[in-house]
Amino acid sequence: MKPQPYAGLRHRTVEAPAGRLHLVEQGTGPLILLVHGFPESWYSWRLQLPALAAAGYRAVAIDVRGYGRSSKPAATEAYRMLDLVEDNLAVVRALDAESAVIVGHDWGSNIAAASALLHPGAFSAVGLLSVPYAPPGGPRPTDVFGHIGGPEQEFYVSYFQEPGRAEAEIEPDVRGWLTGFYAALSADTMPAEGEPDPHFVAHGGRLRDRFPVGKLPSWLTEDDLDVYVGEFERTGLTGALNRYRNMDRDWEDLALHRGAPIKQPSLFIGGTLDASTTWMADAIDAYPATLPALSASHLLEGCGHWIQQERPEEVNRLLTAWLATLQG
């Protein structure tokens, strides 16, 4: 039998509003809750769990509802931000902790930020990877995304928001699609300047039409890819994509928090080649107002979107150094 990667980690499930949340943990000490993004799983933190445990922390990576071994509610609206925040709160309580430091990547960064904003007593500090914090508010998201791209192409978020559309592209060839998507946003395999942008879909086309073909990023082994592919072939993509289909609901749900800063100690780490960082440069510039207790903001030169997997040693060093300041 082929050995399972990182089989020594502790797997368990806990009760949560989603029904069941699967988590993987390592170490003892103060609780660090790790929240992944799209399209990933707890496994995206496989290189952080042992490093955080070695530094004296109880590191816990979850499968967000809709992913992996966690429950997958049928209703689209069950994936709104308020529900995902309550799942995180339930994990802290199930683990008998008074509070946790929460760290998120990609969509997990947004989920971590909302958790810290809504429950400051339960989440004592927040680390954000790749996607900067921008307070709730502004125009309705769907209205904004609908105007990005112009008459010849469509922004990927709008593409993902239409139920069933992205699933029809992805699920017949999960392995090929994931390989292309990971490669499209990785520093060593992303399209060169001047080539078609993989964040957009030509009208009548598919997102994968702009992905690199036959390229595996250096951070991703075939065994790693097997883990991701196996999970999504089993679960499908609808639960994961439903996060995009709730952005207008989130805008309404968080209306009372428009413009609100996160006051807990915070950390941001992004990549200079990541569109999430470059497109949201104004949000980073606004950190003195929106993250007034920010400890540091780091941009890793030449790094793409999958930051904790592309640059695990740097990310681990920055995370553990920041966490040490919280214990002082």
Q: Where are the alpha helices (DSSP H) in 102-259?
A: 107-118, 141-146, 156-161, 165-170, 174-184, 222-235, 238-241, 247-253
The Cα angle at residue 15 between residues 10 and 18, in degrees rounded to 5: 110
Helix axes of 222-235 and 174-184: crossing angle, nearest 10 degrees: 120
SS3 245: helix
Query: What burial class does residue 295 get, using C-beta atoms within 10 Å of its C-beta: 0-12 exposed, 13-18 middle, 19+ buried?
Result: middle
DSSP state of 36: -
d(CA 240, CA 163): 12
Say if CB 51 and CB 9 are below 8 A apart.
no
Answer whether 39's CB lies under 8 Å from 240's CB.
Answer: yes
| Alpha-carbon span 151 to 55, nearest angstrom | 51
22 is an active site residue = no
Scan for tokens 């170490």, then name that residue: 27
269 has which bridge partners? 129, 298
* Per-residue DSSP letter, 104: E
- Residue 114, CA distances (Å) to 40, 52, 102, 256 in order: 20, 23, 10, 13
Which is catalytic among the residues 36, 105, 199, 305? 305
CB 182 within 8 A of CB 258: no
Residue 189 has a CB neighbour count (10 Å cut-off) of 21
305 is catalytic: yes
How far apart CA 250 and CA 140 sit, in angstroms, is 10
Q: Which of 106, 224, 250, 253 is catalytic?
A: 106
Tokens of 216: 């595996």
Active site residues: 106, 305
